[in-house]
Amino acid sequence: MKIAFYDTKDYDKLWFEPLAKEYGYDVVFYESRFVSDTAILANGCDAACLFVNDVIDEKSINMLYDMGVKVILLRCAGYDNIDLKACEGKITVLRVPSYSPTAVAEYAAAMMLTLNRKIHKAYTRTREFNFKISGLMGITLRGKVAGVIGTGKIGKVMIEILKGFGMQILAFDPYPDTSLDVEYVALDELLKRSDVITLHCPLSPDTRYIINKNSISKMKDGVILVNTSRGGLVDTQALIDGLRAGKFMGVALDVYEEEDEYFFEDRSNDIIQDNELIKLMAYPNVLITSHQAFFTSEALEAIARTTLENLKAFEEGRPLENEVTLQGK
């Protein structure tokens, strides 16, 4: 089978190239992102391998179908960027639901620690031989309350890490895991009691803007907020208003609501048009990174293996454990 691979970065080839040969697949790598204008590049291919920031709308899906593409391989966990209704009866959609929960949780913890202890600021200072520590004060995490929103695979690892710091854990999830040694509470209670709030839930109609003006108003003053999940979980304007009001000790974001035009790209020589992103960058207590929480060698290998195994299962007519359908959302 032949795969059209979109939005290729150098690190994508690290595992996809050798593993594709192992599976007996031919991969054509394109640097272009997938949109309706670039869908034509998949002509003659059996599958299109797409990423979280590709725009997979009805028009482009119909183009793929007309060209004979049978499978969309999402090399990511999220699928809110694809029109699943348009895929029904035409193209099978397969994803990678879990490639490295540990990598994401470890990164969320690293962001929390960096933000709290101002490590990024200290690094910049000492590079310029400024060894003053004024303005770098943080808080001791042991004994503080951490609120974990979402207790799936990543949330569970995060809970383990936070327990290692000696923090008291509160958890919120519509589907609690009773096997976890953790205190599940209502969302409002978690917001009111937590010193640190970390998001580990998927983006859905129920979770979109779970962090909004109302929820921010219920948080403690001086709270730390960490989001390594999906940008749409946070209402950006409400977050900016909260920052302006001094609500947060700090905010760490590895994802952003309008990240599609910026993340994974070098825009350092461009005039940035996103006013909200510019405002966020202006706050000294905001730490933003470019959707890299997953980015470990182990995770990249797992993504490649699972993606190709998904295609192999489709090719051989085996059960598709990682299929995404409108009914299964």
Catalytic residues: 230, 259, 291
- At what angle are helices 101-117 and 119-127 packed, to 10 degrees? 60
Please report, for residues 71, 83, 84, 308, the alpha-carbon distance to residue 59 in angstroms, rounded to integers and kept in the order given: 16, 10, 12, 26
CA gap 217, 90 in Å, rounded: 45
Tokens of 5: 């691979």
Q: How far apart are CA 158 and CA 162, in angstroms?
A: 6
CA–CA distance, 188 with 198 (Å, rounded to integer): 14
Cα 25 to Cα 309: distance, rounded to the nearest angstrom: 11
Cα dihedral: 119, 123, 125, 126 (round 10): 130
Q: Quick one: CA dihedral 88, 57, 59, 46, positive or negative?
A: negative
Report yes or no: 224 and 174 within 8 Å, Cβ to Cβ: no
**Residue partners of 80: CB distance under 8 A and separation at least 6:** 203, 204, 230, 232
Q: Which two tokens stand for residue 235?
A: 């209402």
Nearest to 110 by CA among 257, 280, 293, 284: 293
